[in-house]
Each structure stands twice: as structure tokens, then as C-alpha cells.
């Protein structure tokens, strides 16, 4: 019972944290980063102005080209690929470029075209760069103003802007670049995985069993995200990476935007689908341990891992907006009525599973309430410039059966393990 209460508390805590990170209305805010760089303002302006050679220092820009016949427009090509694997491009209008008698330079830019995102994403966005003479060289200030929704997006923009300015300083002062301090560096991610395991430990009891549950939960999260990464690679993503955030879990990131609705559904489904492959292996291992009277069968670590594996992925398959299940079902069912019916049936199946393993009505009601609130969290709309390639009938059929199979396998894992643990 204590484990169930800990799980409900963690779910409620994560719900509030998710809302803060992904949906909290922060309003219109300006991110401002400044650095002192040991160089003359005129030299810095030559490589930071909109039509300057930013490719020599910027970590993401690979080409800068003025638009023919329109001197106030500049097109940037970025290292990040678009949905077709080509460099993404962004056209910006230079609102104002000025030089004062004191030797300061400034410019303001707005996005008027994007090869990847719809123009609505850039409404309210403005970028500015300013260089002023300082006693030890120049003060360089980069700013970005936008309407922010969710603290995570705000922090992401802030970190990216700081990295741009650091890259400029490293280039001018000829300092070696290092990615060791980057949040996504494997060394830091390993530290965060261990830290998350230790943070979760007290929730399940400060004993050997509590530590085992915490380790198993972390391992299940890693396996889930590995499934997403396998799918990204299968769809031709040149790079994939995993970011782990203590308490919230992990997130797998592909190397480019999605190209089709089938790709969206498959990459979302493979998190639980990859883990589902382990269910029959673990069940067979437990039954074999019983036959040879191995301690693994008596002490129950295999069954505990099965419960955590099944419950985590089963909840992830719920048809909520931010979960993988919601992503999959929205691609398969275009008609809202069919989507609503399927969502109701899936949710009912998960509730039945909870009732089947002995969860009481209060726990089930609280769980449904939490996931209902979670489904109401909405992030800033990220609409692609071009509609994704629609799914055809065979793709819908294959994705639908894959979803059903993953759901059924994890229901079986939870029921099988709980029947033997609490027998």
C-alpha cells in the first residue's frame, strides 16, 4: 500500500512539475545575455551583423545569404536538418541597423520565413544584437523576445542564446571549445540517472527493497527511451540522443522533424513496443526459476521488475495528449468520434487492470483524475510548415494492431506479476 501511495504522490508531483515546465503561461518575456569580449567593436560587428560571416563562430549557422533584390532580408541555413534531411532555412527581416558616434552597433531581426515551422510559431518573436565599446574590449548583448508558454522552452532558449555568445567569445579569443559542461553530455546524463535513482529511493522505503524498486524504475525508463531511439534510427535519423531529467524521467530526441504521420505513430509506439518484447522473456525466466527452485523465483525481483515494466508502459499508452498513447491514436484515428470511443475503451481497460490487481476505488479515482488533468496540459503550438504525409490503410492497420499488442502485453505483465506477488 505504501508503494501505491508513493506512486500517487509522485504522479501528482510530476503533474504540477509538467504543467510548470510545459504549459505555465509566462507571457511575453525578453532573454538578455551579455559578455565582455576582448576585441574592437568594429571587428565584432563584422562577424555578428546579419549579413556577416557568422559561419566562422556560430555553432548552428552554416550559411548566410542576402535575399536578391531585398536588401533588408537575410536567409540563414542551419545545421539542424528539416524533415527531408536538408539544412533548415530561416529568412529574417532586419528592422534597424545603427551605429552611434561612440562606436556601438545594434540590429533587430524578425522571422518572416521558415522551411520547417509554420509562420504562426514566430508571431511575437524578435531578436536583437548589440555591441558597445567597453574598457577591456566590447560588451556584446544578445536578446530574444517571445511569448513563452512553459518554463522548459524559456530555459532552452536561454541556454541556446548563452551558447551562441560563448561560441563567439571562444572564436574571437581563440579559446578551445568544450562540450563537457553541456547538459546533454553523456557524463552529465549518467550523473543525472544515478541522481534520479537516489532521489526516488526514499519514496519506496530506505531499505534494500526500496533501492531495488528505484533502480528497476530507472532501468524501465531507460529501456522505454531506447525503444524510441531505435525507431528514430529506423526512420533514417542521422543522430538521436536521450535527455534524462530527475523525477520526470527521460526523453528521446530525434535528429530531424517528423516527415509522416506513420513516423510519428511508430516512433511514439516503439517506447512501449520495445519493452513489450521483454515481457515473454521475463515470464519464461520466472517460470524457469520456479522449476529449478532458484532464489529469483522465491524473492520476486523478476516479478517486481515485471510490475514496474508493465505499469509504466501501460500508463504511457493511455490516450492523454502528452503521452505516447495519445500520439499514436491521434495519428491512427482522424475522425474525432472514433478517437473518443477508442480512448474511452483504452482507459477502461487500464482501469480494469487496476481493479483486477486489487487497487481500491479511491486509488483508481485519484489515478483517473490525475491523468485527466494531465490530458488538459497544452504546450505552445508547433505547427509544421507543410502537412505531414498522411497514413495509408495498411499503415493504420499495422499501427493499430501494434498498439493493441503492446497494450495487451503490458496488461498481461502486470496481472501475471501481481497475481504471484500478492498470492
| pLDDT tens, residue by residue, 191-219 | 889 998 998 888 888 898 889 999 999 99
Give me the chain's average pLDDT, please. 87
pLDDT for 380 beyond 70: no
How many helices (DSSP H) and strands (DSSP E) are in the chain?
13, 9
Q: What is the pLDDT of residue 32?
A: 96
pLDDT for 150 beyond 80: yes
Q: Which residues contact 340 (CB under 8 A, 6 or more apart)?
A: none
Torsion angle of the four alpha carbons 80, 81, 86, 89, in this order, in degrees rounded to the nearest 10: -60
Euclidean distance between CA atoms 177 and 171, whole angstroms: 9
Q: What is the pTM of this model?
A: 0.88
pLDDT for 16 beyond 90: no
pLDDT for 390 beyond 80: yes
Q: What is the pLDDT of residue 1?
A: 46
User: Residue 301 in 3-state DSSP?
Assistant: helix
Distances (CA, A) of 39 to 103, 104, 134, 165, 169: 13, 13, 10, 14, 9
Euclidean distance between CA atoms 423 and 411, whole angstroms: 18
For the ranges 46-50, 91-95, 244-248, the lowest mean pLDDT is seen at 244-248
pLDDT for 73 beyond 50: yes
| Selection from 14, 66, 26 nearest residue 323 by Cα | 14
Count other C-beta atoms under 10 Å from residue 163's C-beta. Answer: 17
Euclidean distance between CA atoms 333 and 391, whole angstroms: 10
Count other C-beta atoms under 10 Å from residue 326's C-beta. Answer: 21
Amino acid at each position: 500500500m505504501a508503494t501505491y501511495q508513493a506512486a500517487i504522490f509522485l504522479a501528482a508531483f510530476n503533474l504540477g512539475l509538467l504543467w510548470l515546465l510545459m504549459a505555465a503561461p509566462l507571457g511575453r518575456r525578453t532573454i538578455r545575455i551579455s559578455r565582455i569580449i576582448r576585441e574592437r567593436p568594429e571587428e565584432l560587428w563584422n562577424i555578428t551583423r546579419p549579413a556577416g560571416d557568422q559561419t566562422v563562430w556560430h555553432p548552428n549557422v552554416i550559411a548566410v545569404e542576402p535575399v536578391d533584390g531585398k536588401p533588408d532580408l537575410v536567409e540563414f541555413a542551419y545545421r539542424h536538418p528539416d524533415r527531408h534531411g536538408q539544412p533548415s532555412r530561416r529568412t529574417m527581416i532586419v528592422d534597424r541597423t545603427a551605429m552611434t558616434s561612440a562606436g556601438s552597433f545594434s540590429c533587430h531581426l524578425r522571422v518572416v520565413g521558415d522551411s520547417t515551422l509554420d509562420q504562426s510559431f514566430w508571431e511575437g518573436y524578435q531578436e536583437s544584437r548589440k555591441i558597445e565599446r567597453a574598457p577591456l574590449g566590447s560588451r556584446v548583448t544578445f536578446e530574444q523576445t517571445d511569448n513563452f508558454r512553459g518554463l522548459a522552452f524559456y530555459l532552452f532558449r536561454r541556454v541556446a542564446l548563452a551558447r551562441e555568445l560563448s561560441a563567439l567569445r571562444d572564436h574571437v579569443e581563440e579559446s578551445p571549445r568544450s562540450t563537457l559542461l553541456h547538459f546533454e553530455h553523456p557524463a552529465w546524463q549518467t550523473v543525472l540517472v544515478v541522481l534520479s535513482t537516489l532521489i526516488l529511493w526514499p519514496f519506496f522505503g530506505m531499505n534494500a527493497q526500496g533501492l531495488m524498486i528505484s533502480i528497476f524504475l530507472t532501468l524501465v525508463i531507460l529501456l522505454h527511451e531506447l525503444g524510441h531511439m531505435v525507431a528514430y534510427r529506423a526512420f533514417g535519423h542521422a543522430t538521436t540522443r536521450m535527455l534524462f531529467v530527475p523525477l520526470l524521467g527521460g526523453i528521446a530526441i530525434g535528429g530531424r522533424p517528423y516527415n509522416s504521420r506513420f513516423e510519428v505513430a511508430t516512433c511514439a509506439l516503439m517506447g512501449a513496443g520495445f519493452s513489450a518484447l521483454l515481457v515473454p522473456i521475463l515470464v519464461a525466466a520466472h517460470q524457469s526459476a520456479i522449476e529449478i527452485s532458484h532464489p529469483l523465483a522465491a524473492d520476486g525481483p523478476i516479478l517486481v521488475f515485471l510490475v514496474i515494466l508493465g505499469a509504466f508502459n501501460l500508463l504511457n499508452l493511455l490516450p492523454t495528449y502528452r503521452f505516447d498513447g495519445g500520439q499514436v491514436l491521434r495519428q491512427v484515428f482522424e475522425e474525432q468520434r472514433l478517437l473518443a470511443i477508442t480512448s474511452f475503451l483504452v482507459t477502461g481497460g487500464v482501469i480494469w487492470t487496476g481493479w483486477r490487481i486489487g487497487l481500491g476505488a479511491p486509488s483508481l479515482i485519484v489515478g483517473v483524475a490525475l491523468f485527466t488533468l494531465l490530458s488538459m496540459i497544452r504546450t505552445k503550438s508547433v505547427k509544421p510548415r507543410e502537412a505531414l504525409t498522411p497514413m495509408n490503410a495498411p499503415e493504420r492497420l499495422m499501427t493499430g494492431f501494434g498498439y493493441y499488442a503492446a497494450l495487451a502485453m503490458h496488461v498481461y505483465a502486470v496481472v501475471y506479476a501481481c497475481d504471484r506477488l500478492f498470492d
